[in-house]
Structure 1
Amino acid sequence: MSTPSVRWVVGVDSGGSGLRVALADAAGSEAPEVVEGRTPVRTGPAGIDAHHLLELVLPMVRALFVRAGREVPGSDPDAAVTAVAVGAAGMATLGGQLRAELPGALAAALGVRRLALAADAVTAYAGALGQRPGAVVAAGTGVIALGTDLSGWRRADGWGHLLGDCGSGAWIGRAGLEAAMRAHDGRRGGSTALLSAAESVWGPVTGLPGQLYPRTDRPAVLASFAPHVARCAVEGDPVAVDVLARAARHLVEAAAAVCPPVRQGSARQGREDGGVDVALTGGLFAMGDPLVVPLRERLAAELPSARLVPAAGDPLAGAVSIAVALADGSLRLPADPALLHVPPVV
């Protein structure tokens, strides 16, 4: 049974592929318990569906209490959850219903006293760098960069595969397929290696438009070709090498746009040496050297004050860290109506 000294916090990571929920004690004396669900939260005319999120999250939280051998919230006042941090894709533009309804609903269901609603880029930032100034580039199918000097946020890209997401998995995949189509047509800039890779996946490329354009998951389909571009680059295809070099340039441009201005000796705005920490997070960087090496080179050339540091954790770890900071009153990341909403204590 839980004791009055234990303060429970919950972190939620909500994305297009489902939910991950973590239960931790605010003191960090035990490793968080984590459960995953494959059902994504619905989005409707009113934005992210708050009722559906609750339908999914509450049973997961209760299951985590059971798994941890603790009393379920509602059956023991000492099992109340002190703080919850929800990180969700689309929160910045589609989170109105969550902001309006979750504080009261979570207070009633779990005894929550403090709540933070964050864009997934913010939880990615918190997971990667914690609560210190810097910049994070989060890249997978799409890409968004976020930076802060702890007084406000700077954001770059994250505009989707039609308007942006430059350097992302979808961008790399599309550029690789364009090179394949150029090779098929006999146009300059084509790559027979990428043409062969595309045909190994989809068959004759003349049928590719019919396979791709009707799909509603086009960004993910495009991104699925990015590893093939990386493989062709490793094998020495110059067009694939150029695609990844251009992707690296786009990613560095996004990082440069959000890096906080730093002054020598300013601990608030950067490191004491006047530099700034930059972290990379997300599945795109799993392709390794073909992308990361040109990215490091361009970062060193364009942002000599930046230091590339490893991401400490993922977005779920970031959500937990925000919840812990809420519980003990140490949250330093700046509040923002769209990116990090912290309503009054319920």
Structure 2
Amino acid sequence: MVLAIDLGQSGARIRTPDTEFVSKRSKITTESTLDALNDLFIEVQETLGSDFHSDVVALSLTGVYGDVGDPKPYGQLAAKFFGAKSVAVIDDGLAGYFGALGNSDGVVVSIGSGTVAIAGRRGHYSHSDGVGHIFGDFGSGFWLGKSALERVIATQEGRDDATFLSDFFEAEIKTYETLKSRTDAKAHSLCITAAKTLLEAAEAKNTDAITIRDKGAEYLAKTIRAAWTNVDGMRNEGISIALLGKLANNKGYVESIRRRTSSLLPQITLVEPKGNHLDGAIFIAEHVPEDIEPLLRWWRK
């Protein structure tokens, strides 16, 4: 039996062979992943019962930036709570890759609060972006929302002229005005939630919103190209590309990404993902017994 956990920036998902549920416990940018998992494991025990055990635990983790590090602390924590004997510690981008494409070659882009692209070709894998919102995550939910709010706030102060864009963000501005800190986790979350409003404004043909959306798509196209190039992929190869995450449900954003990526890699095909990060974590637990450095490392008791 496999216990699979996908820990993200906006919550977590947990799956066993018998059940699946969602937790509001997320990985906050400034905290240790192990601290977040400790809280999450307590919640899992409360939900599934203190006698719940799983020999195999697969952890899909945000915030590891392409290198999962030493798997031992994760393994020991899972052993303590669930009696685990084998623990897969997985960069969430790689979990998304195997969930979406399985063993097939291609590129998978996870577009949620952050952004990461994983390319796979002939058994080799690369990681592009996914370095956090300070130095990367271009085209992500955080990036879209922050870019929009920057212009809206500047317009309120007379530093910009995005008046029509500002009309879409009345609720976000009210929240912004209540923030005690403009740099803490609540400010970060506001930027993430503002992405939905930005994409709605773009669908309503607001030119400022379209400009921001398409700039995000341009960044993602370059991230996809970088990931593919880093596994020695050729420009004119046929490439399957799958998009994961809530923002991948927005048809306007997906089409903008497709157009800009096609200009860089002309033989791409957008494909429907076979599954998600949880599916990928389980696939890895069942079919990938070896490490994929530095994106996947196993701990075994």
Aligned Cα RMSD in Å? 3.4
Scaled by the length of structure 2, what TM-score is found?
0.83
Shift of 1:333: 7.9
User: What is the CA deviation profile of residues 102-127 of structure 1, one whole-angstrom value per residue up to 9, with x for unaligned ones?
Assistant: 43565576564433111111211121
Q: Please, which moves more after superposition, 152-161 or 255-264?
A: 255-264
Say if 1:150 and 1:332, in contact at 8 Å, map to a contact too.
Answer: no
Shift of 1:241: 1.1
Task: Please tell me whether residue 21 in structure 1 is matched to residue 14 in structure 2.
Answer: yes
Q: Please, which moves more after superposition, 53-62 or 152-161?
A: 53-62
Q: Radius of gyration: which is bigger?
A: 1
1:281 corresponds, among 238, 244, 266, to: 244
Structure 1 distance, partners of 2:65, 2:47, is: 24
Shift of 1:155: 1.5
Say if 2:65 and 2:132, in contact at 8 Å, map to a contact too.
Answer: no
1:268 is matched with: none
Say if 1:48 and 1:94, in contact at 8 Å, map to a contact too.
Answer: no
Shift of 1:252: 0.8
Structure 2 distance, partners of 1:295, 1:43, is: 27
Question: Tell me, what secondary structure is at the counterpart of 1:48?
Answer: helix
Q: 1:218 to 1:160 in 2, by over 3 A?
A: farther
Q: 1:237 to 1:53 in 2, by over 3 A?
A: closer
Structure 1 distance, partners of 2:130, 2:100, is: 18
Say if 2:28 and 2:185, in contact at 8 Å, map to a contact too.
Answer: no
Gaps of 5+ in 1: 1-7, 25-31, 66-71, 74-80, 265-272, 326-330
User: What is the CA deviation profile of residues 53-107 of structure 1, one whole-angstrom value per residue up to 9, with x for unaligned ones?
Assistant: 54344555558x9xxxxxx64xxxxxxx45321112224589557x223435655
Structure 1 distance, partners of 2:263, 2:8, is: 34
Q: Please, which moves more after superposition, 191-200 or 138-147?
A: 191-200
1:306 corresponds, among 268, 271, 276, to: 268
2:252 is matched with: 290
- Residue type of the alignment partner of 2:225: A
2:286 corresponds, among 315, 324, 332, to: 324
Say if 2:3 and 2:16, in contact at 8 Å, map to a contact too.
Answer: yes
User: What is the CA deviation profile of residues 137-163 of structure 1, one whole-angstrom value per residue up to 9, with x for unaligned ones?
Assistant: 111121111212254432221222222
Question: Tell me, what secondary structure is at the counterpart of 2:56?
Answer: strand
Question: Tell me, what secondary structure is at the counterpart of 1:163?
Answer: coil
Structure 1 distance, partners of 2:179, 2:86, is: 49
Q: Please, which moves more after superposition, 110-119 or 218-227?
A: 110-119
1:88 is matched with: 61
Q: Give the percent of matched residue pairs that are identical in Structure 1 and Structure 2.
A: 25
Gaps of 5+ in 2: none
Structure 2 distance, partners of 1:187, 1:164, is: 25
1:137 corresponds, among 102, 109, 118, to: 109
Shift of 1:45: 7.6
Shift of 1:274: 3.7
1:180 is matched with: 152
